[in-house]
Amino acid sequence: MPVANSEQSVPRYMRAAVYLAPGRVEIQEVPVPEIGPGELLVRVEACGICHTDLKKITYGLLPPPRIFGHETAGVVVRTGPGVEGFRPGERVVVFHHIPCGECFYCRRRLYAQCPVYKRVGVTAGFEPAGGGFAQYVRVLPWIVPRGVERIPEGVSFDRASMVEPVNTCHKAIEQLDPQPGDLVLVLGQGPIGLLFTMLARLRGARVAATETLPYRREISRELGAEQCWDPTSEDVPSRVRQLSDGRGADAVVVAVSAPGIVEQAVAASRPGSRILLFSQTSHEERVVLPGAEICVAERTVFGCYSASVDLQRESARMVFNGVLSVDRLISHRLPLARIMEGIRLALHPREKSLKIVVQPQA
């Protein structure tokens, strides 16, 4: 794998996928970011397309211009004054959010609510927005000490780009806390849902799942689900009860957003169950549930969002050591010039499409 090891290898300009308006992204030449004290310049080798970025691009949730992309793996090519522990040539994964560690929310380990965490700390230019859909990114000073993980030799950049999404699911499964032998229902078997299937199995839980695409149902079973049903043709609550002596699921992960899906999660769960909302990130989405299904049935419904710095290194280890079969989830590797094709495919998945990784240097 090529490794840059000198400042002379860094050009003045680079290609980047610039978000210009809702649904509009163009490849442009922009200046390579200048770095300052405590910062890194990283050459991006792989960046996954995440549904969080898709929502921002599709619905115009943030003002343009911006360069999105935050599941970033690459090579350090420059270090700013005062940087310790990193040098040019090192292969790294970069997180774009890191909490302060000291505020009200950090003391309660609610890192995603920390004001510092909410500031994006990686940019390829313009207002910081992750920047991974560009050839180089600037890593800002509060990210460098705790938000950069080295990639071991022999691990591809594509695999390494999965560390950030694995961290978000790892955080959520820790909060869900399935016990060995529990039946966990995972609604949706896209890349995120499949990560939840693998993580729940690692905890010793049984897994059942739902998915509309046949290929994803097939790979779900290969990765550990006992059953994976098409929710458009199966009575999912009834099917779950058949696997649980008539009770319902002990825990449910809602890993996709669709009308009525949270109501389905409640209907398929037993009294006293825990229901995790992972994909309900839109302020426009509404969930209406009978109060007694929560109160009288003593269910817990909760949300989990973004990554945890406490689990960052362990998440990286699971990816690097092959504990999770994340390579199975990468279906497409596209050059930056084809990013709009990747965005359309991620928004409207076809048979055998799963995780799409952009390779800006290709």
Domain 167-303, CATH homologous superfamily name and number? NAD(P)-binding Rossmann-like Domain (3.40.50.720)
Return the axis-axis angle of helices 163-176 and 312-320, rounded to nearest 10°: 120
**287 token code pair:** 């969930």
Main-chain dihedrals φ then ψ at residue 173, nearest 5 degrees: -70, -30
Classify strands 269-277 and 249-254 as parallel, antiparallel or unpaired.
parallel
> Which residues neighbour 104 within 8 Å (Cβ) at sequence distance 6 or greater?
none
DSSP string, 190-232: SHHHHHHHHHHHHTT-EEEEE-SSHHHHHHHHHTT-SEEE-TT
Say what the pLDDT of residue 7 is.
Answer: 53
Integer Cα distance of 295 and 301 in angstroms:
11
DSSP state of 234: S
Integer Cα distance of 110 and 125 in angstroms:
29
- How many CB atoms within 10 Å of residue 182? 20
Q: In this structure, which topology does domain 7-161+325-359 adopt according to CATH?
A: Quinone Oxidoreductase; Chain A, domain 1 (3.90.180)
Say what the pLDDT of residue 6 is.
Answer: 42
Return the axis-axis angle of helices 51-59 and 339-347, rounded to nearest 10°: 100
Integer Cα distance of 260 and 253 in angstroms:
14
Bond from prior residue into 128 cis (ω within 30 degrees of 0): no
pTM for this model (two decimals): 0.96
Q: What is the identity of the amino acid at 241? A: R
Domain boundaries, the chain: 7-161+325-359, 167-303
Which one, of 29, 28, 31, 50, lies nearest residue 41 by Cα? 31
60: left (phi over 0), alpha (psi -120 to 50) or beta: left
Instruction: Determine whether 110 is exposed, middle or buried from the number of CB atoms within 10 Å of its CB (0-12, 13-18, 19+).
Output: middle
Cα 47 from chain centroid?
11
CA 92-93-97 angle, 5° bins: 135
Say what the pLDDT of residue 1 is.
Answer: 40
Say what the pLDDT of residue 284 is.
Answer: 87
Integer Cα distance of 68 and 60 in angstroms:
12
Which one, of 185, 182, 190, lies nearest residue 211 by Cα? 190
Say what the pLDDT of residue 110 is.
Answer: 98
Average pLDDT across each block of 10 residues of the chain; the chain has 362 residues. List them in order: 52 98 97 98 98 92 96 98 96 98 98 98 98 98 98 98 98 98 98 98 98 97 98 98 98 96 98 97 92 98 98 98 97 98 95 95 96
Q: Which residue has the tokens 């922009």?
A: 30
